[in-house]
A = this chain, B = another copy of it.
Amino acid sequence: MSEAGVNTGVDMLHGYSIKQTSEITGITEDTIRYYEKIGLLPRAQRKENSHRIYSDHDIETMKLITCLKKTGMSLDDMRPYLDLSLDSNLSEYPELHEMILNHKQKILDQIASLQQIVDLIDSKIDQNFLGPQECELTGDRKKMPVRRTIR
């Protein structure tokens, strides 16, 4: 039951080794194991020799983690998103649905924050000192929706 030295990159049963997976996703092997350890990723399939094997679907999940991380989300907070990409039917879980909508609003707020900083930079570059203008996101009041198109 050995496929003696297949070099096509993809192993038997369309599985990737942890090394390959690391190369594909840009996540280090250690970090992949760490994500499994803390339960962010489900326990990976193993070969008889207990080596982990990953599917394309696993890889997509990891890419999603990277993507969510870029938005500043904590590993804990992204768990529902990962569940979301596994079992497909969102409407069956109204709680999750609400949670996701909630998070969407947070992200929109975050975009507004970022946009204000971009504006601050622009005004700093255009003029010389930013006088009355100021980042308004320090309070916890409702934010204005950003209507500006991103340049």
Contacts and interface: CB of A to CB of B under 8 A. Distances in A.
A128 B66 contact: no
Contact of A117 (B91, B107, B135): B107
Contacts of A103: 121
A38 interface: no
Contact of A71 (B85, B113, B145, B147): B113
B100 A107 contact: no
A90 B97 CA distance: 46
Interface string A108-150: 1011111111100110110011100011011000000111111
A88 interface: yes
B117 A67 contact: yes
A36 interface: no
A52 interface: no
A135 B64 contact: yes
Contact of A67 (B67, B100, B137, B148): B137
Interface string A21-38: 000011000000000000
Nearest first, the 8 A-B pairs at minimum CB distance are A72-B72, A67-B135, A88-B129, A63-B138, A70-B113, A66-B138, A104-B121, A107-B114
Interface of A: 25-26, 60, 63-64, 66-68, 70-72, 84-85, 88-91, 97, 100-101, 103-104, 107-108, 110-118, 121-122, 124-125, 128-130, 134-135, 137-138, 145-151
